[in-house]
Amino acid sequence: MTSGGSRDDLGNGLAAHSLAVLREGQHPSGAFVACPGYPIYQYAWLRDGSFCAYAMDVSGEHDSAAAFHRFVASTIRRNLGPGTSGEKERRLPARYTLTGELERLGEEDWPNFQLDGYGTWLWTLRDHRTRGGTLDTGLLDTAGRTADYLAGMCHLPCYDCWEESGDRRHTSTLAAIIAGLEAAADLLDRQPLMDRAASLRRELDSPAHLRDGGYVKHDASGAVDASLLWLSLPFGVVAADDPRMAKTAERIGAELTGPGGGIRRYLGDEFYGGGEWTLLTAWWGWYRAVLQDARGAREAARWVEAAATERGDLPEQLTDHPQFGDRVEPWERKWGPVATPLLWSHAMYLVLDDALARL
């Protein structure tokens, strides 16, 4: 086993730069922008932001995480309206403006009904408290209403964490909802939320999501998706060394490692050609680290470090080894070069760096 002290200068430099990117990308409201340099990512996604707040907590920046949680709570309160349970037709969006307003683009332009971010937020909120954060009654009350919203909506198909396939029930979304409901049940001491999570756990292990001993992308797919790693990290819905997770991870490693050594989202991904993703390669390294595979974890960290631009910015993905070479340029023409620096990529590098330091 190697010690964290042996991290090279590049790695340590990237950790410091990553913290700076997250600090600079946090709006005075507490929201994290997805990517300051990419026009259509000028929003606060609950998913990206929650993982950024988690990375800040892991890095000891608790005030930053607390500010994010306050932002989310006030935003949800404003948009959920009075009385949540029973209000099942009201769908909360995946992203807000940096001041917590609904974004200008309509649902028809850009899929917005995604439930994973709300589960992820609840999970990171409880983690924040575990690390010493204080949750006032307003925060706890909003956590309860968010959990009620999730409990009321969790049976519905919704867009996945990649904002795709809105007519399916996605396995990593289900895991985020389970984790969120269990976290809220714990925070609020509410057994019915735990019971709801237990029924979702049974669904998670039904053939819709678990096949041949491993988890699959969604209820109508036998494929893997790299977001399945979240079942174990950070959510802990399935232990990292559980045989079901081992089988899933084995497939992710075998099927989704690209020629450059980074991890792809899923086979058939056409977004910017479907390249190797920085945040997912960091996630893979985190998973290896938790399994005490120091070599695998360090290899992933080196890959991420090499993906950084000269000034240390991490892109969303690398397009050097696309699955579809002819699909890179159309996206560049539509929305510009790959989003860089993506705050979520930097967040996951910080989490990996912390995991490496613990080996």
Catalytic residues: 160, 163, 316
Distance from C-alpha of 328 to C-alpha of 273, rounded to nearest angstrom: 5
Of 11 and 262, CB closest to ligand BGC: 262
In angstroms, the first-to-last Cα distance of the chain is: 7
Q: Is 283 in the site for ligand BGC (CB under 6 A)?
A: no
Q: Taking the CA of residue 195 as centre, how many other CA atoms within 13 Å lie in the half-sphere pointing to its CB?
A: 3
Q: Is 38 in the site for ligand BGC (CB under 6 A)?
A: no
- Pick one of 121, 162, 230, 283: the residue that binds ligand BGC (CB under 6 A): 162
Of 161 and 263, CB closest to ligand BGC: 161
Of 51 and 303, CB closest to ligand BGC: 51
Residue span binding ligand BGC (CB under 6 A) among the ranges 69-77, 155-163, 206-214, 215-223: 155-163
Q: Hey, what are 228's tokens?
A: 């399945």
**Distances 280 to 28, 177, 193, 214 between C-alpha atoms, Å:** 28, 20, 30, 19
Other Cβ atoms within 10 Å of 224 Cβ, number = 25
Distance from C-alpha of 217 to C-alpha of 198, rounded to nearest angstrom: 20
Q: Is 229 in the site for ligand BGC (CB under 6 A)?
A: no
Of 162 and 349, CB closest to ligand BGC: 162
SS3 109: coil
Distance from C-alpha of 41 to C-alpha of 123, rounded to nearest angstrom: 24
Residue span binding ligand BGC (CB under 6 A) among the ranges 158-166, 235-243, 252-260, 288-296: 158-166
Phi-psi region of 352 (alpha: psi -120 to 50; beta: other; left: phi over 0): alpha
Of 161 and 178, CB closest to ligand BGC: 161
Q: Is 34 in the site for ligand BGC (CB under 6 A)?
A: yes
SS3 128: helix
Of 122 and 151, CB closest to ligand BGC: 122
Q: What is the DSSP letter of 274?
A: T
Q: How far is the CB of 293 from ligand BGC (least distance, A)?
A: 26
- Pick one of 161, 181, 197, 290: the residue that binds ligand BGC (CB under 6 A): 161
Distance from C-alpha of 30 to C-alpha of 139, rounded to nearest angstrom: 14
The C-alpha torsion from 304 through 286 and 127 to 145, rounded to 10°, is 80
Q: How far is the CB of 152 from ligand BGC (least distance, A)?
A: 23
Residues 163-182 binding ligand BGC (CB under 6 A) are 163
Residues facing 211 on adjacent strands: 214
Q: How far is the CB of 230 from ligand BGC (least distance, A)?
A: 12
Phi, psi of 174 (to 5 degrees): -60, -40
Q: Is 318 in the site for ligand BGC (CB under 6 A)?
A: no
Q: Is 349 in the site for ligand BGC (CB under 6 A)?
A: no
- Residues whose CB falls within 8 Å of the CB of residue 136, separated by 6 or more in sequence, listed in order: none
Q: Is 123 in the site for ligand BGC (CB under 6 A)?
A: no
Site string for ligand BGC, 40-59 (x = CB under 6 A): -x---x-xx-----------
Q: Is 150 in the site for ligand BGC (CB under 6 A)?
A: no
- Can you give the binding site for ligand BGC, defined by CB under 6 A? 34, 41, 45, 47-48, 161-163, 344
